[in-house]
Amino acid sequence: MLWRSARPSLWNPWHDLRNFNDEISRLFGDLGEFTTRGEYPPVNVWFNDYEARFTVKLPGVNLADLEITANQDTLTIKGNRAAEVLPEGANYLRQERGSGSFVRTFALPFPVDSENVEAGYKDGILVVRLPKAKSVQPRKINVTTA
């Protein structure tokens, strides 16, 4: 048995929280594809001086069921993942993959050139490239002698 000392140097206030988190994980298992805040689909986003790029995990979603909309400062990804049809008499033992419709809308930190947005979908991964509007891209200034 672990003896908790009253001396602060030996007591870790995060220990109980970590134990609680471990117990919740043990009781409820992995949350599957959902992020810790329950958002689906999970998304990675990066940007540089010229563009933003979204990488979206969408296994089992048909291309025909995706709708992507970009305007000046937002990106919206809508879709639907059809429910798996079980054979007659079959029951789930465990079901972690969700189904149904989803919508994610992202505020962008800069205006985009919506006419040149590109999207590709391969092996369950959607990649959306959003170029920055020319007005906010860095511009090289040539210096001449005076």
Q: What is the mean pLDDT of residues 112-135?
A: 94
Q: Give me the percent of the chain exceeding a pLDDT of 90.
A: 48
Q: What is the mean pLDDT of residues 81-97?
A: 89
Q: Which two tokens stand for residue 15?
A: 């220990």
pLDDT of amino acid 34 = 47
Q: What is the CA radius of gyration of the chain?
A: 23
- Rounded Cα–Cα distance for residues 115 and 131 (Å): 9
CB 77 within 8 A of CB 126: yes
* Tokens 């210096």, located at residue: 143
CB 47 within 8 A of CB 36: no
pLDDT of amino acid 72 = 85
Stated as kind and residue range, the H or E segment containing 28 is helix 14-28
Domains of the chain from N-terminus onward: 39-83+99-135 (2.60.40.790)
Q: Which two tokens stand for residue 59?
A: 């296994």
- Per-residue pLDDT of 36-88, as tens digits, reads 455 788 999 999 989 999 999 999 899 999 999 999 899 999 999 988 899 99
Q: Which two tokens stand for residue 142?
A: 């040539």
Q: What is the mean pLDDT of residues 119-137?
A: 93
Is 60 exceeded by the pLDDT of residue 92? yes
CB 66 within 8 A of CB 41: no
Strand partners, 43: 56
- Per-residue pLDDT of 106-117, as tens digits, reads 999 899 999 999
Q: Which residue has the higher pLDDT, 60 or 120?
A: 120
